[in-house]
């Protein structure tokens, strides 16, 4: 117990010190590998609907899987993955043995994903689906057991450390969703962030020009470029989306 407590304390200290998603993810991957799960795939969206997770370009996806696996899996296969369906409909942790237990109920598309995973050595593990405060948000992580391990091996690890692993992933998820992130699109520049922040404070273009010592035309240019980066049509949408991604009102590190 003392060893587990020390490991958790060290993990939480490093998590608290992380000021970028990159640093946090590297630390989290290493921690999970020590517990027997060395390949992770994390996904989060704030644009979920009843029939979709939103535009893939707006999702935050983190993984240390081989690029050859990710290139195909993230290019549409994920949408038909049985454990993704489970995560969309449930909260908590689930053994990948669930797929075997429900093999007769899998669709043809889901069976193709299972076969693809088998060929790529992604056969044993657990999925954790996080509890969200918004119906539009959804996050989950797939933990793949080390190569050569069976699902029975993974279940034995889970019996001993499952509660710890779930809570470590929960706090990592909470930290990730509070750090600035950009998707596959470009990141806002400092000037673009600043003008959006002033818009969020209710300032007009003329106000922002005076505050920042710019011309109104320059302010409009920064707003236009911010809208392009965020792929939205209006400045109000840009403020909302940048807020979702924690790209405005953030400390410069």
Q: What is the DSSP string of 7-73?
A: HHHHHHHHHHH--SHHHHHHHHHHHHHHTTEEEEEEEEES---SS----GGGSEEEE-S-HHHHHHH
Residue 253 binned pLDDT confidence (cut-offs 50, 70, 90): low
Domain check: are 83 and 197 in the same one? no
Model confidence pLDDT, tens digit, residues 40-90: 999 999 888 878 887 777 888 999 999 999 999 988 899 899 999 999 999
- Which residues sit opposite 139 in a β-bridge? 44
Domain check: are 206 and 151 in the same one? no
Residue 182 lies in a domain: no
Residue 120 binned pLDDT confidence (cut-offs 50, 70, 90): very high
Which range of residues forms the domain containing residue 203? 190-244
Model confidence pLDDT, tens digit, residues 141-176: 999 999 999 999 999 999 999 999 999 999 999 999
Q: Show which of 129, 154, 176 is a domain's final residue.
A: 176
Residue 252 binned pLDDT confidence (cut-offs 50, 70, 90): low
Handedness of CA 82, 83, 89, 90 (dihedral sign): positive
Domain check: are 170 and 194 in the same one? no
pLDDT at 233 over 60: yes
Domain check: are 36 and 140 in the same one? yes
At 185 the pLDDT is 60
Residue 252 lies in a domain: no
**Counting beta carbons within 10 angstroms of the beta carbon of residue 125, is it exposed (0 to 12), middle (13 to 18) or buried (19 or more)?**
buried
Domain check: are 102 and 215 in the same one? no
Residue 251 lies in a domain: no
Minimum mean pLDDT range among 96-105, 125-134, 177-186, 237-246: 177-186
At 141, give phi and psi (nearest 5°): -140, 135
- Which residues sit opposite 128 in a β-bridge? 93, 141
pLDDT at 130 over 90: yes
Q: Show which of 118, 142, 176 is a domain's final residue.
A: 176
Model confidence pLDDT, tens digit, residues 171-219: 999 999 988 876 656 788 999 989 999 999 999 999 999 999 999 999 9
Domain check: are 236 and 164 in the same one? no
- Which residues sit opposite 140 in a β-bridge? 43, 129
At 58 the pLDDT is 80
At 152 the pLDDT is 98
Domain check: are 13 and 62 in the same one? yes
Domain check: are 142 and 167 in the same one? yes
Q: Show which of 148, 176, 204 is a domain's final residue.
A: 176
Nearest partner of 218 among 228, 208, 227, judged by Cα: 208
At 37 the pLDDT is 98
Domain check: are 156 and 91 in the same one? yes
Q: How many domains does the chain have?
A: 2
Residue 227 maps to which CATH number? 1.10.10.10
pTM: 0.83
């Amino acid at each position: 117990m003392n060893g587990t407590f020390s490991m958790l304390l060290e993990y939480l200290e490093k998590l608290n010190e992380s000021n970028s998603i990159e640093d946090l993810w590297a630390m989290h991957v290493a921690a999970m590998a020590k517990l027997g799960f060395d390949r992770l795939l994390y996904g989060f969206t704030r644009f979920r609907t009843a029939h979709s997770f939103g535009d893939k370009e707006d999702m935050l996806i983190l993984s240390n899987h081989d690029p050859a696996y990710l290139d195909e899996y993230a290019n549409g296969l994920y949408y038909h993955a049985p454990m993704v369906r489970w995560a969309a409909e449930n909260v908590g942790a689930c053994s990948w043995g669930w797929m075997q237990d429900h093999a007769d109920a899998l669709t043809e598309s889901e069976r193709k994903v299972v076969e693809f995973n088998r060929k790529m050595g992604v056969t044993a593990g657990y999925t954790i689906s996080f509890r969200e405060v918004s119906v539009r948000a959804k996050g989950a992580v797939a933990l793949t057991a080390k190569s050569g391990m069976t699902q029975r091996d993974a279940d034995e690890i889970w019996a001993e450390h499952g509660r710890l692993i779930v809570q470590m992933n929960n706090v990592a998820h909470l930290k990730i969703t509070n750090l600035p992130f950009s998707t596959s699109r470009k990141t806002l520049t400092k000037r673009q962030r600043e003008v959006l922040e002033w818009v969020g404070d209710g300032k007009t273009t003329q106000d922002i020009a005076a505050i920042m010592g710019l011309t109104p035309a320059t302010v409009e240019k920064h707003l236009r470029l911010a809208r392009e980066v965020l792929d939205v049509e209006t400045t109000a949408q840009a403020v909302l989306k940048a807020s979702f991604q924690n790209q405005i009102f953030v400390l410069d590190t």
